[in-house]
Amino acid sequence: MHHKVVLIPGDGIGPEVAQAAQAVLSATGLEIEWFEHQAGVAALESGSSEVLPAETIEAVKQHGVALKGPCTTPVGEGFSSVNVALRKGLDLYGAVRPVRNLDGLKTRYSDVDVIVVRENTEGLYAGIENVIKKGIVTSIKLVTEEASRRIARFAFEYAVKRQRSKVTVFHKANIMKKSDGLFIKCAREEHQNFSESIEYEEMIIDAACMRLVQDPTIFDVILCENFYGDLISDLVAGFVGGIGVTPGANFGQKCSVFEAVHGSAPDIAGLNVANPLALIMTGVMMLRYLAEQTGDQDCEQAANQIRDAYSACLAAGERTSDLGGDLTTSQFANAVIKRL
């Protein structure tokens, strides 16, 4: 079967890890036609006047699936986040970040197997910021019943599909009684439709962070609004080897964009030392999604082959420097390809 995928290399380490992931996916022999489009600083550098060109959005809408590298967002000034705009523009409301220990990679924690489900379109990331007057600013946290119900339903459905048993909602509804209050009210009510198969739990996020660090194995699926989900996914990534090994996906009704949790890592960009595994694993998630969507079992088989290949590399000590190894980005990708 022939698959069409949009590739958005992104900024910083994006092009390096995207090239590595693309090479691994292509080496499986699957017929993937890639459509490369730019976003972020890379779009400006390629002559676009927009950080998120309309043609990039259109390409994802047309083909339905994209593999995306990270995009840089300037801190405290400059243009707004391309990532946030892409998720909002394509209504990619459900972010999924699975975090589990990898075969062949020993870390401080073992038996971690957590899925973070993050509402991806509103909350504090709605980008509603105002200068009231000099020295006073507001940042509005937008929570709607529609988006809160939708992400709760998504989390329960995802949990059922992946044979998980519990969903824990992280919140701060003791302080933000109205916004987080609405979020948990919707989750509670939506859970009524899943109460036979999924256990439901709520936890105030500060205590939840302590519990996570004490023993992450007590969690199964974690449901968060946008901002908390962003923080929690990096936190849990640290349990299993860091953001260099944590994949992710953004799901919508009409299209899905697969991107790793990490950013553009300007400190190591262009040095060919970034770990491409997070984006390779993200590619594996994409293949499983393509298998589900199209029924092409070759995608499922290729996903398993890639997983076995990178696990064998890790077990043999073939790693990039963030995991204590000495392979470059491209050497690691080649090592995976050799074991396919």
**Catalytically annotated residues:** 125, 172, 206, 230
| C-beta of 169 vs 255, nearer to ligand NAI | 255
Spatial CA neighbour of 59 closest among 3, 5, 2, 121 = 5
Please give the Cα distance from 106 to 101 (Å, whole number): 8
Please give the Cα distance from 262 to 268 (Å, whole number): 13
Which one of 105-113, 165-173, 267-275, 282-290 is the stretch in contact with ligand NAI (CB under 6 A)? 267-275
Spatial CA neighbour of 199 closest among 171, 173, 226, 169 = 169
Q: Looking at this protein, which amino acid is placed at residue 30? A: L
Spatial CA neighbour of 168 closest among 224, 124, 246 = 224
Please give the Cα distance from 202 to 200 (Å, whole number): 7
For residues 295 to 334, the per-residue mask of contacts with ligand NAI, x marking binding by CB under 6 A and - elsewhere, is ---------------------------x------------
Smallest separation, CB 275 to ligand NAI (Å): 3
Examine residue 274 and tell whether it contacts ligand NAI (CB under 6 A): yes
| C-beta of 98 vs 198, nearer to ligand NAI | 98
Alpha carbon distance, N-terminus to C-terminus of the chain: 20
Examine residue 71 and tell whether it contacts ligand NAI (CB under 6 A): yes
Examine residue 264 and tell whether it contacts ligand NAI (CB under 6 A): yes
Q: Which of 77, 111, 196, 267 binds ligand NAI (CB under 6 A)?
A: 267
Question: Alpha helices, DSSP H only, in 162-255?
Answer: 179-191, 205-214, 226-237
Examine residue 229 and tell whether it contacts ligand NAI (CB under 6 A): no
Please give the Cα distance from 304 to 310 (Å, whole number): 10
Which one of 110-118, 273-281, 301-309, 331-339 is the stretch in contact with ligand NAI (CB under 6 A)? 273-281
Q: Which of 83, 168, 226, 328 binds ligand NAI (CB under 6 A)?
A: 83
Examine residue 120 and tell whether it contacts ligand NAI (CB under 6 A): no
Q: Binders of ligand NAI among 4-43, rule CB under 6 A?
A: 13, 17
Location of structure tokens 């073939």? 318
Smallest separation, CB 283 to ligand NAI (Å): 14
Q: Which of 150, 191, 262, 319 binds ligand NAI (CB under 6 A)?
A: 262
Question: Alpha helices, DSSP H only, in 64-96?
Answer: 82-89
The DSSP H or E segment spanning 170 is strand 166-171
At residue 235's C-alpha, the angle toward residues 170 and 282, to 5°, is 100
Which residues form the interface with ligand NAI (CB under 6 A)? 13, 17, 70-73, 83, 243-244, 259, 262-268, 274-275, 278, 322
